[in-house]
Amino acid sequence: MKLYVLQSFLTVARAQSSSDAAHSLHISQPALSRQIKDLEEELGLLLFIRGNRKISLTAEGLLLQKRAKQIVELVQKTKEEFASIEDNVSGTIYIAGGETHVFQILAKTIRSIVSQYPDIHIHLFSGNADDVNERLDRGGADFGLVIEPADVSRYDYVRLPAVDTWGVLMRKDSPLASLDAVEPEDLWNEPLINSRQALKGGQLSSWLRIAPEKLNLVASYNLLFNAALLVEAGVGYALCIDNIINTTGKTNLCFRPLKPTLESHVDLIWKKHQTLSKASELFLERLRNIR
């Protein structure tokens, strides 16, 4: 399975047209079709469904698309790491992380690096703890930013000097908006939009003092932006951390903290015994100094 063939496969999948893909790749359509046919024969699978106007991926094609993206990203990352072995520090630092205002600490570190080393670039990937762990484990990220109750025992980590505060995102005209803080019993009979990671970890479940199956859980989320749109539409109350969604100005949303207070630590993690690039070592050193 050749890398250039995987890149051609990804181009066809993205364009949904072999002629458009061939034009983008600057090769003839018959040559591209031969690459795809050879790939299907090598795998013994049908990757595309050919329609009259466009082509689409089969279930097997969707799986290969996911893996091919990972392979191409890893190859690119490897090239950049070897390129950074020169005297001048360069390359890309790949950071996967969840939504948290604590990222501001990383942002300050990144600013200090890129202003001094213009050949260092940063690539960010947003996701929950499971997404971050997958990226780290397969080599698609150098560092991960995770929020409690994420398990960091398998990784080296730095605990950042700030915490996230949990609360409820709601419409300003909601009954609970009149409260200064939200207590567990205030939520027992309300429609809730919950963070899958938080309830799975048990931290939020313990605070609620009620079994999750007894709650009116109408939706769940892994990243908050779309969940906030559900809140704004009146679907329910979102259990979330503060300072992610802007609740100032003309927005219809507001945030109320939990009572008693519930806070989560935030950790920067990376694989144990990992050989870091010079750029990544510099990032980690600067981060520790900025704390």
Same domain, 253 and 285: no
Q: Are residues 157 and 188 located together in one domain of the fold?
A: no
Of 50, 78, 106, the domain-final residue: 78
- Contact assessment for residue 253 and residue 169, using Cβ atoms and an 8 Å cutoff: yes
pLDDT at 183: 97
Residue 247 sits in the same domain as residue 273: no
* Together in a domain, 20 and 62: yes
203 with 151, same domain?
no
Model-level pTM?
A: 0.69
Note the pLDDT of residue 83: 64
d(CA 104, CA 85): 29
Query: Is the residue at 203 inside a domain?
Result: yes
Total domain count, the chain? 3
Determine the pLDDT at residue 150. 83
Q: What is the mean pLDDT of the chain?
A: 90
What does the pLDDT read at residue 229? 96
Q: Are residues 72 and 97 in the same domain?
A: no
Spatial distance between the Cα atoms of 204 and 67, rounded to a whole number of angstroms: 34
Write out the two tokens for 8.
Answer: 């051609």
Q: Which of 208-212, 230-234, 258-262 has the lowest mean pLDDT?
A: 208-212
Model confidence at 291: pLDDT above 60:
no
Of all residues in the chain, the percent with pLDDT exceeding 70 is: 95
Q: Does residue 125 share a domain with residue 69? A: no
Same-domain status, 191 and 223: yes
Residue-number span of the structural domain to which 7 is assigned: 3-78
pLDDT in tens, 11-36: 999 999 988 988 888 889 899 999 99
| Residue 244 confidence (pLDDT) | 92
- Give the closest residue to 164 by CA, choosing from 26, 44, 278, 258: 258
Q: Which of 276, 282, 5 is nearest to 117 (CA)?
A: 282
Asked if residue 44 belongs to a domain, the reply is yes
Segment 2-9 shows an average pLDDT of 91
Is residue 244 in a domain?
Answer: yes
Does 83 reside within a domain?
no
Q: Where are the beta strands (DSSP E) in 28-90?
A: 48-50, 55-57
Residue 82 has pLDDT above 80, yes or no: no
- If asked whether residues 113 and 153 sit together in one domain, one would say yes
- The predicted-structure confidence for 122-159, as pLDDT tens digits, reads as follows 999 998 888 899 999 988 999 999 988 888 999 999 99
pLDDT tens by residue, 59-80: 999 999 999 999 988 888 787 7
Average pLDDT over residues 42-57: 89
Final residue before a domain boundary, out of 15, 44, 78: 78
C-alpha count within 13 angstroms, C-beta hemisphere, residue 138: 17
How would residue 249 be classed by pLDDT, with cut points 50, 70 and 90? Answer: confident
Tell me the C-alpha distance between 203 and 185, whole Å.
Answer: 16
What's 189's domain CATH number?
Answer: 3.40.190.10
For residues 125 and 142, state if they share a domain. Answer: yes
Q: Rounded CA gap, 195 and 242, in Å?
A: 13
pLDDT at 195: 83
Cα-trace Rg, the chain? 23
> Closest Cα to residue 3, out of 69, 84, 93, 80?
69
Residue 240: inside a domain: yes
Both 169 and 248 in a single domain?
yes
- 3-class secondary structure, 278: helix
How much of the chain, in percent, has pLDDT values that exceed 90? 66
The per-residue pLDDT for 273 is 87
Please identify, among 78, 108, 128, the residue that sits at the C-terminal boundary of a domain. Answer: 78
Per-residue model confidence as pLDDT tens digits over 83-122? 655 556 888 999 999 889 999 999 999 999 999 899 999 9
Predicted local distance difference test score (pLDDT) of residue 188:
96
What does the pLDDT look like over 176-226, one tens digit per residue?
999 999 999 999 999 999 987 766 657 788 899 988 889 999 999 988 999
pLDDT at 189: 95
User: CA dist 277 to 18, 78, 86, 193, 197, Å?
Assistant: 38, 10, 11, 40, 31
Report d(CA 50, CA 28) in Å as an integer: 18
- Buried/exposed code over 38-49 (b: 16+ C-beta within 10 A; e: otherwise): ebbeeeeeebbe
Per-residue pLDDT, 86: 52
In a domain, 107, yes or no: yes
In a domain, 151, yes or no: yes
CATH code, domain carrying 71: 1.10.10.10
Does residue 126 form part of some domain?
yes
- Looking at the fold, whether 154 and 275 belong to one and the same domain comes out as yes
